[in-house]
Structure 1
Amino acid sequence: MQRVRALLLFVLCAAAGPVAAADVVKLVVPFAAGGPVDQVARIIAPGLSTELGKSVVVENRGGAGGVVGANAVAKAPADGATLLVATSGYVMSAGTMPQLPYDPRKDLEPIALIGEVQTLLVTRPDFGVRTLRELVDKSKAGARVSYGSSGVGSTMHIGGEMVNVYTGSKMLHVPYRGAAPAIADLMAGQIDALNADVTILAPYVREKKLVGLALFDRQRSQQLPAVPTSAEEGFPDLQMSNAYGILAPAGVPTATKQQLEQAILKVVRSPGVVDRLGNMGLIGPMNSAAFATKLSQDFDRWIPFLKKTGIQIQP
């Protein structure tokens, strides 16, 4: 009887595949519940559970701009049972937080990119500019131009400084505690511009409450096809998106990594999930190899840039 039980246990474990023997796979979201990263995690979790044959739970571990959650995953066993749902902030923190408790280039490895969201620069209708070029010229001519962000070191802050660095403008940074109050103050005339995910700003542009100046991209947005790109406006270096991807602790076994990668890509390419992610503005998944190349390029670009700007925050 004992031999039969042992054989049955072996068969069950083999059927479960190489992902960790634990019954639960955790998707760690390094931000509070309800935000876009949390929404993306909860969209893919049910399908991922089906593909892996295990419970997949979303665990919110916010704090320090995503550092707390990322550190928890970096220190977790490399068995595929604990995964990080990361954004471009994971890369940015490597340039703005010199004392990170983990090495972002070595301690976690990419499994798959879920998608990227384009970044849009907007102004208010009464500010008197209708293009990115006009905004830049107004600032360079000496006019006071301010831009809002969701806080020091946020992607909104970095996007604004990117405009200053690559165009020679001198926009003044005004930090807020979140994107919502910054958008509210922009519409109220307290600040002059800001940049954020196109999905967040598109409704305001459609309702003509805000003016879309340019996408920080070389490709126009399907959500706002009339808004030009920064490249079309003559500033091809203004490129920025918010990427959402899955990372695991470094050293995860190859078979486990492949199983996770295949499961994630199958889920994010399934019709229902494609529609829901598309409604959030996410474009195009990537496999682990392509995602690794993108991450390496992003680190090489943003870390020197952020050191040049002097933007630093304490984790």
Structure 2
Amino acid sequence: MLLTLTHFARVSRIFLLVIAGAAAMPAQSTDVVKIVVPFSAGGPTDQIARIVAPGLSEALGKTVIVENRGGAGGTVGAAYAAKAKPDGSTILLSTSSLVLSAGTTSNLPYDARHDLDPVYLLGEVQTMLAVRPGLNVESLQALIAKAKGPKNLNYGSTGVGGTMHVGAELLARTAEVPLVHIPYRGAAPALVDLMAGNIDLVNADVPVLKPYIQDGRIQGLVIFDKRRSPLLPDIPTAEEAGMPELQLTNWYGVLVPKGMPVAARQELERALDETVHRPEVAAKLADAGFSNPQNAAAFKARWDADFERWLPWLKEAGIRTE
């Protein structure tokens, strides 16, 4: 009996030590923040996440990791983040594609506008129109005149509903010219065909096109914005080119699952604002063509305005994924 009691006492002490140790261990949700990138590693969104993550880790006093969950034009990762526990352990870094997907894709497994809260807009990137070498157009108006000729011009994109597709269709509908859409599996193969002269034009982010324009492999025509690009200051804006309706920038923002406590959202917003204004981070974002970071209130206003602008436009244009 004594042996049994002694054994019981030892087991009890071990059990109490285990319970005490478990209580002392911090929960992962308070120590680790996961930035979900809904695109593959190495792409622009992933690169921005990895620029921001170290500074955000310092500002929050927590470990910050980047997790790529690509697929279906960003909807796989967005769905994962939208359904995550709203405790601050999972945040989403996505782009304007969130809005465009809502207007082009049926039966999404989430509702971006109702399942996600905008917290901080890291910045936006201008888009621009570029044409193949040998097209022999020196201005937007010359391009439109050629597009109204006997031979239809074509353009490349990353697929139905992406910003490259929407940008070119914005031109086609505004100028009332027929343009033939040729989708690719990514921006890189589309640019290869543009430089080879196999397609006529693209609309893409300025930082993506910049090196090819600077070395003369493609020709930049117009910035789809109200201001010139600091990366390519010689390229005129859409307004300067006579078509102010051509406005399309691609934003990159942080969102969280709906239901995250207000205080936690405000702390994340503060930490992100501190991060993007650190000199080393700000310099890297500027080199990537980023500008105009915005707090939660401004981001929410932009978010709502984009839904109000693009969903009716996409419906009218008949742009839908299959």
Shorter-chain TM-score category? Answer: over 0.9
Match of 1:230 in 2: 238
Residue 244 in 1 paired to residue 255 in 2? Answer: no
Residue in structure 1 matched with residue 168 of structure 2 by the alignment: 160
Match of residue 277, structure 1, among 282, 285, 295:
285
Aligned partners of 2:28, 2:290: CA distance in 1, in Å? Answer: 29
SS at match of 2:280: helix
Gaps of 5+ in 1: 14-18
Partner of 2:6: none
Distance 2:143 2:37 in 1: 36
Corresponding position of 2:153: 145
* Structure 2 residue 298 is matched with structure 1 residue 298: no
Map 1:77-156 → 2, pairs under 5 A: 77-156=85-164
- The separation in 2 between residues aligned to 1:171 and 1:256, in whole angstroms, is 47
Of 193, 211, 221 in structure 2, the residue corresponding to residue 213 of structure 1 is 221
- Give yes or no for the alignment of 1:55 onto 2:68: no
Structure 2: distance between partners of 1:94 and 1:152: 13
Residue 185 in structure 1 maps to residue 187 in structure 2: no
- Listed one character per residue, the Cα deviations across residues 182-217 of structure 1 (whole Å, up to 9, x for unaligned) are 111111111110011000101111111111110100
Residue identity matched to 1:78: P
For 2:65, give the aligned amino acid.
V
Can you list the C-alpha shifts for 1:278-298, whole angstroms capped at 9, x where unaligned? 111111210000000000000
Give SS of 1:252's match: coil
- In the alignment, is residue 312 of structure 1 matched against residue 298 of structure 2? no
Q: For 2:170 and 2:164, locate their aligned partners in 1 and report how far apart those are by CA, in whole Å.
A: 10
- The answer on whether the counterparts of 1:149 and 1:194 sit within 8 Å (CA) in structure 2 is yes
Provide TM-score, normalisation by structure 1.
Answer: 0.92
CA distance in 1, matches of 2:259, 2:122: 21
d(CA) in 2 for partners of 1:146 and 1:85? 32
Percent identity between the aligned chains? 51
Question: Would you say 1:34 and 2:42 are equivalent positions?
Answer: yes
Alpha-carbon distance in structure 1 between the residues aligned to 2:205 and 2:237:
14
For the 8 Å contact 1:29–1:58, the answer to whether it is kept is yes
Give unpaired runs (5+ residues) of structure 2: 1-15
Larger Rg: 2
Displacement of 1:237? 0.9
State the 1:159 CA deviation: 0.8
Distance 2:28 2:310 in 1: 34
Aligned residues of 1:78 and 1:251 also touching (Cα < 8 A): yes
Q: Cα distance, 1:98 vs. partner? A: 2.5
Distance across 2 between alignment mates of 1:111 and 1:273: 19
Which residue identity is paired with 1:258?
Answer: Q
Which residue identity does 2:301 align to in structure 1? T
Q: What SS is found at the alignment partner of 1:22?
A: helix
**Residue number in structure 2 paired with 1:16:** none
With normalisation by structure 2, the TM-score equals 0.90
CA shift for structure 1 position 78? 1.1
Structure 1 residues 259 and 20 mapped into 2: Cα distance closer, same or farther (>3 Å)? farther
Supply the AA of the counterpart residue of 2:181: H
Give the match's secondary structure for 1:229. coil
Computed over aligned residues only, the root mean square deviation of the Cα atoms, in angstroms, reads: 1.8
Matched length: 302
Tell me, yes or no, if the aligned pair for 2:53 and 2:65 is still in contact at 8 Å.
yes
SS at match of 2:66: strand
1:103-137 Cα shifts (integer Å, max 9, x gaps)? 11110000000000000100123101011111112
- Give the distance between the partners of 1:303 and 1:238, measured in 2 at CA: 17
Residue 81 of structure 1 deviates from its aligned partner by 1.1
Tell me the residue number matched to 2:13.
Answer: none
Equivalent position amino acid for 2:105 in 1: M
1:21 deviates by 4.7
Contact 1:117 1:243 (8 Å CA) reproduced = yes
